[in-house]
Amino acid sequence: MDNVTIKDIAKALNLSTSTVSRALRGSYEINAETKRLVMEYAERLNYRPNPIALSLKENRSRAIGVIVPQIANYFFSQAINGIEAIAYNRGYHVIIFQTHESYEREVVNMQQAVSRRVDGLLISLSSETSDVTHLRELQDQGMPIVLFDRVSSELNATQVVADNFKGAFEATEHLIWSGRRRIAHLTIPPYMSITQERLAGYRAALEKHGIAYDENLVRYGTFGPDEVGPMVDDLLAQNPRPDAFFTASDRLAAGCLGALQKRKLRIPEDVALIGFTNMNVAELLSPPMSTVVQPAQEIGQVAVERLIELIERKQKAAPPSVIKIPTTLIARDSTRTVVE
């Protein structure tokens, strides 16, 4: 890799590096002929400014750190997709870190990102994280931070999330409209922000339609393997049996679907099923499961846009706004009559 530098061009054209630099940047105070000469030669040699030298000079890396629980996950890979698209257009590159749902690794990743001199940080908290002191301290030192999806109100930062409340409300109401009354809710760990919002939406829909909230119908998963089957069994053992399931994640939806099929329950005739998933998973899981689709890509896009804004404005104290991106309900089960 023999990289052309300004110095090479200067030598070849018998100019000084400053002249070449100015010519390349299109400075006004340069002779048109010289400028042309430099430009042409640079073009011919396929000159590209060295971003590392630039970073050193400008004291910024043009890199954005993205910390997520894991990449190999539809939601996050789509979010990263959105982040990547915007970031590249704005001249930033993206460095990805995975916490694997570990608080410790989240802290280490954060330090790594700082060591790498990222210009800003985009974070989706690990499920283990309840204390966000590490982030607050970093923020206090002037690092622009935007949270997305897995957020925390403990932090005075911009937060970009799906409209979990509304999505859960609509999902639950969809089930109610199709005649369901005993709606089970399979969800993720209770202390997470998104869990609470979805649970609130679920309860609000029940309440609106005069259905009593029954905590026995709610189960919390732990991201562990083989946990969904027993949860479903447990719920089905109740009398009366649940007539619908509302699941809060891809894995819970798939697990629940599998468990119900294994028990020879017809969907949606015996039990209705609706899941909080995202577009790709919705494609894979066949009807007749309905889905509330998360705007993963858009969440990523909006989050990175906000972050870049912060970085470039050097606003240290951002107004701690919460941006909610709407979800989309895709109904695939209209077996029973809709009861308004």
Partner DNA sequence: TTGTATGCGTTATCAC
Partner DNA sequence: GTGATAACGCATACAA
The residues binding DNA (CB under 7 A) are 3, 5-7, 14-19, 21-25, 29-31, 33-35, 48-50, 53-54, 56-57, 59
Concatenating the DSSP letter of every residue in 123-137 gives E---TT----HHHHH
> Which residue's CB is nearer to DNA, number 29 or number 340?
29
> Which residue's CB is nearer to DNA, number 19 or number 126?
19
- Residue 17 interaction partner, one of a second copy, DNA, none, beta carbon < 5-8 Å per kind: DNA
C-alpha 113/C-alpha 241 separation (Å) is 49
- Residue 72 interaction partner, one of DNA, a second copy, none, beta carbon < 5-8 Å per kind: a second copy
Residues 6+ positions from 262 with CB-CB distance below 8 Å: 229
C-alpha 105/C-alpha 111 separation (Å) is 10
The nearest distance, CB 181 to a second copy, in angstroms, is: 27
> Which residue's CB is nearer to a second copy, number 94 or number 331?
94
Concatenating the DSSP letter of every residue in 31-99 gives -HHHHHHHHHHHHHHT----HHHHHHHHT---EEEEEES-SSSHHHHHHHHHHHHHHHHTT-EEEEEE-
> Which residue's CB is nearer to a second copy, number 81 or number 216?
81
Beta bridge partners of 97: 67
- Residue 283 interaction partner, one of DNA, a second copy, none, beta carbon < 5-8 Å per kind: a second copy
Phi first, then psi: what are they for 158, rounded to 5°? -65, 140
- Residue 18 interaction partner, one of a second copy, DNA, none, beta carbon < 5-8 Å per kind: DNA
- Residue 226 interaction partner, one of a second copy, DNA, none, beta carbon < 5-8 Å per kind: none
C-alpha 4/C-alpha 292 separation (Å) is 52
> Which residue's CB is nearer to DNA, number 14 or number 337?
14
What is the Cα 225 distance to its own chain's centre? Answer: 23
Closest CA to 148 of 159, 156, 140, 138: 159
> Which residue's CB is nearer to DNA, number 22 or number 185?
22
The nearest distance, CB 71 to a second copy, in angstroms, is: 5
- Residue 142 interaction partner, one of DNA, a second copy, none, beta carbon < 5-8 Å per kind: a second copy
Residues in contact with a second copy by CB under 8 A are 1-3, 48, 50-53, 55-56, 61, 70-74, 77-78, 80-81, 84, 88, 93-96, 98, 112, 114-117, 141-143, 250-251, 254, 257-258, 261, 280-281, 283-287, 297
Phi first, then psi: what are they for 261, rounded to 5°? -65, -40
C-alpha 200/C-alpha 48 separation (Å) is 53
Question: For every residue of 317-339, which 3-state class applies, written as one string?
Answer: CCCCCEEEECCEEECCCCCCCCC
- Residue 98 interaction partner, one of a second copy, DNA, none, beta carbon < 5-8 Å per kind: a second copy
> Which residue's CB is nearer to a second copy, number 141 or number 337?
141
What is the Cα 190 distance to its own chain's centre? Answer: 19
The nearest distance, CB 32 to a second copy, in angstroms, is: 27
C-alpha 64/C-alpha 88 separation (Å) is 10
The nearest distance, CB 14 to DNA, in angstroms, is: 6
The nearest distance, CB 72 to a second copy, in angstroms, is: 4
> Which residue's CB is nearer to DNA, number 36 or number 208?
36
> Which residue's CB is nearer to a second copy, number 154 or number 283?
283
- Residue 230 interaction partner, one of DNA, a second copy, none, beta carbon < 5-8 Å per kind: none
- Residue 173 interaction partner, one of a second copy, DNA, none, beta carbon < 5-8 Å per kind: none
- Letter for the amino acid at 313? R
The nearest distance, CB 320 to DNA, in angstroms, is: 30
